[in-house]
Chains A and B, each alone.
Chain A
Amino acid sequence: MNRTETEHVRDTSLLGFWLFIMSDCLLFASLFATYAVLGHSYAGGPSASEIFSLPFVLLETLILLTSTLTCGLAVVALYKRNREQILGWLFVTGALGALFLALELHEFVTLIAEGHGFQASAFLSAFFTLVGTHGLHVSIGLLWMLFMMAQVYRTGLTNVTERHLMCLALFWHFLDIVWIFIFSFVYLLPIIV
């Protein structure tokens, strides 16, 4: 393939991936809309401000935001075509992502243990589904990241790995943006209002 053809393939992949992200945005929009409707249906149970621990969620948020920074640095390394740096930053990103996921699971387990599980009220169903869907996306992102690290290690920077790394970075940033909305609407808003 010559240079323009390579670029064309990359642009095509990226456009396709942007479209996929747009559709994923709509998926989250539906879940947010549901949360907006059901967020006050406590069914006699606790409300949002009673069960969420803001400092804990802030910690989660900072970890995920930092992972976005390191993911960005991995892309910078990609532009510099520095394989070791790419692998290093991807590793840091993945580690932070895994830490985030562990904290989220801890939050879920604690809530369920306290009797605030997803079966307790419509509010909690909507909460667990919205946040859990984000967590599921992060898990998929982590698996993908592992795969990409193996690929970069194995084959180096080919057109294919480069393209896939760009898509992965997009995906990771997207998850970060969704989390900012979750943080604001699900955790922060009930405290402020």
Chain B
Amino acid sequence: MNIFGKLSLDAIPHDPVALAGVVFMFSAGIAALVALTYFKLWRWLWEEYLTSLDPKKIGIMYIVVAVLMLVRGMADAGMMRLQQAISVGDSFGYLSPEHFQQVFSAHGTIMIFFVAMPILFGLINLIMPLQIGARDVAFPFLNSVSFWLFAAGAGLINLSLVLGEFSTAGWLAYPPLSELQYSPGVGVDYWIWALQISGIGSLLSGVNFITTIFKMRAPGMTLMRMPIFVWTSLSSMVLVVFAFPILTATLSMLALDRTLGMHFFTTDLGGNVMMYVNLIWAWGHPEVYILVLPAFGIFSEIVPVFSQKRLFGYTSMVFATAGITFFSYLVWAHHFFTMGAGAKVNAFFGIMTMVIAIPTGVKIFNWLFTMFRGRIIFSSPMHWFLGFVVSFTIGGMSGVLLSIPGVDFELHNSLFLVAHFHNMIISGVLFGYFAGITYWFPKIFGFKLNENLGVYAFWCWIVGFFVAFMPLYILGMMGATRRLDHYDASMGWQGLFIVAGVGVCIIGLGVLFQVLQMYVSIRDRKKNIAGADPWNARTLEWSVPSPAPMYNFAHIPHVYGRDPLWARKQGIEHHEPPYTDIRMPKNSPLGLLLGLFGFLFGFGIIWHMYWLVPAAALGAIVCIVVRALDEHTEETISAAVVERIERANPSVTV
């Protein structure tokens, strides 16, 4: 047996566009390594981040990786728009169909799994423990393992640029196209194992965060006193725990088909293709809400703070969140009304889909009523919120249109659908995350982001978004299907495709402003020192110093109502006992090693290097045993150190 399995030098891409990508990736990687060595940052990186079990550090790592992946996903989007703008009639554009298919598959996969998910986990790590008055998550080591498994998945998907190819079967890899018969290469295997490994990380995070929210709340922080971001995180994580196992099972079955010649989804020997489509969407629809619920939570934190008024309809917000969590399991078939399940099944799923719009509407009204007669401060997080309300409502309405099975038969798989879900995900999820990052940035780093550049970025994003996606609604109605690499000039679509391409350029300008914002803010950080509570906020994370110390709270707070910090600022509560020793988890490199073994495990299966698979599994087991044998996983931060940190960066005192 060849120890390299299917891997040979032929796996390095020869096509010039792909080769340029490889060269770019390598030079960026080497530049980063050189910079780290030159500035002697390795030790700092290792001790402060790579081996850290502090959820705030892990959160930062999640978001940094996600932002890098966002850049790659946006490059893919730009490539698609350029191809579709020029590949008409006799011109076939600059991408081969094969390459174009890899690009759209990578775009979808990256944006959902390696941008939206990690930003979500990053924000929950950063903020949720602070909001419930906890010093840490329930299982700090598991948290590190989750992150490194995610990083292993991200590593695999980037490796597919350099070695071999990526899947051409779309972001959900429907069989039979994704079966061995039609996709014999390693592309689909890369897709499966990148998702499988990072998916297990997500599942572990789900378990970890639910336990944290149930068991680690500060005294007095009853469930109905929790900030809405905590509620939506809880709901989102409940969905993770209930939905991701379905993804794990489905991906495993596809992998068994491809690797061991089984017949779950093949077209012969009794395999059932629609089984895959049902299973993947039984995970996939909850996934949409996994992403968007925390974004709703972020807006529910931001709107009261920047309206200087308490949240309108807290209880209805909680129930709406719970309702969405429940209903998200009853709508999956609306992704394939055209399957032929019959009128009754389609009617049920159509009605459920319309019903789920109701709790979402409740939330919109709650935010609007929170603003009503408030003292609204038009900061950049508030801009993101207002942009979200307008475009999310439009996207919601196009969604209700699509929920009518008869209409869906007409629009299924068209660009109308593409426009709809980008409408939901860009304005719902991404704007929410941008707002959250801007809002909580000072808590993590101690200084504010530049406001003006943030507002410019917002305007580019919102204008670019409408210019890029409104034409797609029209194109969809004109019959343009998604994933087209070429079309006939007589269709009359080119003008609209060019407009959409211009929209992407405007969004690109927005991204440039965001990069510039980061640069300027870091340069001027001394001028923008935030202090503990820069926004005159209401919840506990703003009561501790900025940046938040590793132990979060020198004294575990006692909570007497909703918006505890607000209450304290009104002089309702006050106490400051002397500082005491705090026990915190020690750093551990084992999470990183487990991620590495996960990566090697996936790599071994993808390239049929079968000796590597058991070796990697054994390595992972050894890591777990070593961790289980370690009896000294905690260290003490002495009261003197706590006092020094607290004096250097004061918390809110009344």
Contact = CB atoms under 8 A, between A and B. Distances in A.
Given A22-B241, A27-B249, A30-B246, A119 B256 contact: no
A172 interface: no
A8 B216 CA distance: 9
B275 interface: yes
Interface stretch (A33-41, A67-75, A76-84, A93-101): A33-41
A147 B629 CA distance: 10
B263 A34 contact: no
Given A11-B215, A38-B270, A126 B279 contact: no
Interface in A121-152: 121-123, 125-126, 128-129, 143, 147, 151
A109 interface: no
Interface in A142-188: 143, 147, 151, 158, 160, 164
A131 B219 CA distance: 46
B272 interface: yes
A115 interface: no
Contacts of A34: 249, 253, 264, 275, 279
B378 interface: no
Interface in B84-114: none
A23 B242 contact: yes
A16 B206 CA distance: 10
B585 to A, nearest CB: 12
Interface string B218-258: 00000000000000000000000111111011101100110
Given A16-B207, A20-B207, A23-B241, A120 B269 contact: yes
Interface string B605-642: 00000000000000001000100110100000000000
Contacts of A129: 252-253, 256, 262, 264
B253 A23 contact: no
Interface residues of A, number: 39
Contacts of A151: 628-629
A125 B249 contact: no
Contact of B260 (A11, A43, A119): A119
B526 to A, nearest CB: 41
A185 B262 CA distance: 21
A20 B211 CA distance: 10
A128 to B, nearest CB: 8
Contacts of B262: 118-119, 125, 128-129
B83 interface: no
B143 to A, nearest CB: 12
A123 B262 CA distance: 10
A41 B272 contact: yes
B275 A23 contact: no
Contacts of B268: 43
A122 B215 contact: no
**Residue of A16, A27, A129, A143 most packed against chain B (CB within 10 A):** A16
B277 to A, nearest CB: 12
A126 B640 CA distance: 61
A150 B250 CA distance: 36
Contacts of B534: none
B492 interface: no
Interface in A8-39: 8, 11-12, 15-16, 19-20, 22-27, 29-31, 33-34, 37-38
Q: Which 5 A-B pairs have the closest CB atoms?
A: A41-B270, A122-B270, A30-B249, A125-B262, A26-B245
21 contacts: A19-B210, A26-B243, A26-B245, A26-B246, A27-B245, A27-B246, A29-B245, A30-B245, A31-B249, A34-B249, A34-B279, A37-B275, A43-B269, A118-B256, A122-B264, A123-B270, A125-B271, A126-B264, A128-B262, A147-B628, A158-B631
Interface of A: 8, 11-12, 15-16, 19-20, 22-27, 29-31, 33-34, 37-38, 41-43, 118-123, 125-126, 128-129, 143, 147, 151, 158, 160, 164
